[in-house]
Structure 1
Amino acid sequence: MIDLPETTSVYKRMPKELFYKYLNDDCISKKTFIDEIGSIIWINTLSSETTTTPEGKHVTEIAIVEIVLNRQAISHNILEIVNREIDQYAVFIVRYEEWGQVWCCDHQSLNLQTGQFNCQNYYQTNWMIAEDLMLKIDGGNLDQVYENFFMQIAGKPLPAKVDSNHKQTDEPIVKVEQSGKNEELEQLVATIKNLESQMEKEMLFGKQVKLATDLKNAKDELQQIKRSQTTHIEIQQPEIVAAQEDPAETVRSFFPNVYMKMQCKFSHYFGLV
């Protein structure tokens, strides 16, 4: 359950008409906006005044906005429209009936002339029972609070911020490649932790198998990167396409007890025992 301090409560309903000025031929149509959105409510504002957390270098406020849907789907364009009106760092709680997701954006660039953020990608949690959605305030300042929100939602660190008004300095290619690999390692480690956490909470067997497969692939990729960093040899090798793993093998690897029960049932059914 998302339980934020009472001092951060705003609960300000934002009329849908407020966003119509952003609807044009290059964006989403007014009809789609009306069909998808039931209501938009600004429910919390995290700032140095509403919390005991000081402002960060980049983040001075974080808006928590609830979007109630008329169907279980939302377009990125809608989040872009709402974010444009809010014009600050925001976390979106998206709800449909008893289901919910949490969304946020990686604000990778800041236009100092307009003061607006240019969002490149949106990330979200899986659909789950709305009451099970979690968002924990953690950090010494609001920069760190938003970074931790992003980690909780995306399962990986927030990408480094790039100032679009300054050019990046030239550095040795080897150092840039090594930095990229280190960042990829950090993202994979965070992804693995997130998948392990989801597996502990997931009750549906089918989803457990899917999570287990994703987890194994992430761990394999992590080992490959570590091996490449150890050897420091960059030789072009023909790409080897790995054979798709048998789902039964995945079940046996991660759920041996379930696998044994399945084997017993099949053997009994076909008269093998």
Structure 2
Amino acid sequence: MLYDWPRAAAFGRVIPKNKIYEHAGANTALKDLFVREVDQIVWSHKLAPETINLAATKSVAEIQVFRILQRESAVNQDVLRAIDRAIPFPLIFEMEHGGRIKLAAAYKRPSESDSSRWVLGDYFESDWLLENAFRAALPVALDMGTLYELLLSPLIEGQSVRLMPGMAEALQAPFIAAATMEPVPLEARIAHAEAIKAKTREVERIKARLAREKQFNKRVAINAELRAAKQELERLGGPSPTSLR
């Protein structure tokens, strides 16, 4: 889903890459990624109390929308993480390439031990859409914190489909029973999604080791490890073991 960002929130400022380098402490390898993968960085919109008439919260004073014009079909997440580190507000990225566009974001919150530092989670992305695809109005929210949660939620749920067929239902399953009770906090949903992603990657790594191993006794041990990882993934609500064969 794309959003029709309010006109009053339009910012439209091109951000020089060297400014990101300075604030993010970029090394040579990271600079090379920017040069190779990113054509332009535009600070597109500023969602703030004075632009969209929503009250700030302790953790979300503003939300910035950055448009990334890509040179290549994919951008390394280290690039997004560097931009996030350089900007002291939650960010929503609009990634553009070849007439298509998608959203990307990581849950970003102030550190509990040092409010001047920010904690970043995994990145979640939408599917690619045509650049002229329909844009929905911003979700109805009472404050900036709620708006941020509502903007992130579709990315968290939609990312599951990209991980593996059937993942969307699996991610939602643990929360269906609670639908008529207290809402599940965003951080809990993100932690659950990240746990499934991590365990899915672990299963894939074990499968790769199994495929390379030729000795029978070692294959037996790796198979046991694989079964345990699949069982843990199933417990988390991930894909059934048969879908990971």
Report the TM-score range of the alignment, normalised by the length of the smaller protein.
Answer: 0.5 to 0.7
The answer to whether the aligner puts 1:78 opposite 2:79 as a matched pair is: yes
- Judged with a 3 Å threshold, the aligned counterparts in structure 2 of structure 1 residues 215 and 64 are, in CA distance, closer, same or farther, namely same
Greater Cα radius of gyration, structure 1 or 2? 1
Give the whole-Å Cα distance in 1 for the aligned partners of 2:18 and 2:64: 20
Bigger relative CO (Cα 8 Å, ≥ 6 apart): 2
Give the whole-Å Cα distance in 1 for the aligned partners of 2:111 and 2:52: 25
Deviation string, structure 1 residues 1-26 (Cα, Å, up to 9, x no partner):
5322111011000011212332116x
The answer to whether the aligner puts 1:15 opposite 2:11 as a matched pair is: no
**Counterpart of 1:147?**
149
Q: Aligned AA for 1:146? A: Y
Q: Considering only aligned residues, what root-mean-square deviation do their CA atoms show, in Å?
A: 3.5
Secondary structure of 1:131's match?
coil
Shift of 1:134: 4.4
**Counterpart of 1:214?**
166
Give the whole-Å Cα distance in 2 for the aligned partners of 1:49 and 1:30: 34
Structure 1 regions of 5+ residues with no counterpart? 157-189, 196-206, 227-237, 246-273
- Judged with a 3 Å threshold, the aligned counterparts in structure 2 of structure 1 residues 218 and 8 are, in CA distance, closer, same or farther, namely same
Map 1:154-233 onto structure 2 (within 5 A). 154-155=156-157, 213-214=165-166, 218=170, 222=173
**Counterpart of 2:27?**
24
After TM superposition, the score normalised by the length of structure 1 is 0.57
CA contact (8 A) 1:45 1:64 kept: yes
Structure 2 regions of 5+ residues with no counterpart? 178-227, 235-239
Give the whole-Å Cα distance in 2 for the aligned partners of 1:222 and 1:30: 41
Deviation string, structure 1 residues 27-68 (Cα, Å, up to 9, x no partner):
x43222111000000011011111121112311111011000
Shift of 1:116: 2.1
- Judged with a 3 Å threshold, the aligned counterparts in structure 2 of structure 1 residues 37 and 217 are, in CA distance, closer, same or farther, namely same
Give the whole-Å Cα distance in 1 for the aligned partners of 2:86 and 2:104: 17
**Counterpart of 1:6?**
7
CA contact (8 A) 1:123 1:154 kept: yes
Give the whole-Å Cα distance in 1 for the aligned partners of 2:94 and 2:51: 20
**Counterpart of 2:217?**
none
- Judged with a 3 Å threshold, the aligned counterparts in structure 2 of structure 1 residues 23 and 148 are, in CA distance, closer, same or farther, namely same
Give the whole-Å Cα distance in 1 for the aligned partners of 2:35 and 2:77: 15
User: Percent of aligned pairs with the same residue?
Assistant: 17
Give the whole-Å Cα distance in 2 for the aligned partners of 1:58 and 1:114: 9
The answer to whether the aligner puts 1:138 opposite 2:140 as a matched pair is: yes
**Counterpart of 2:186?**
none
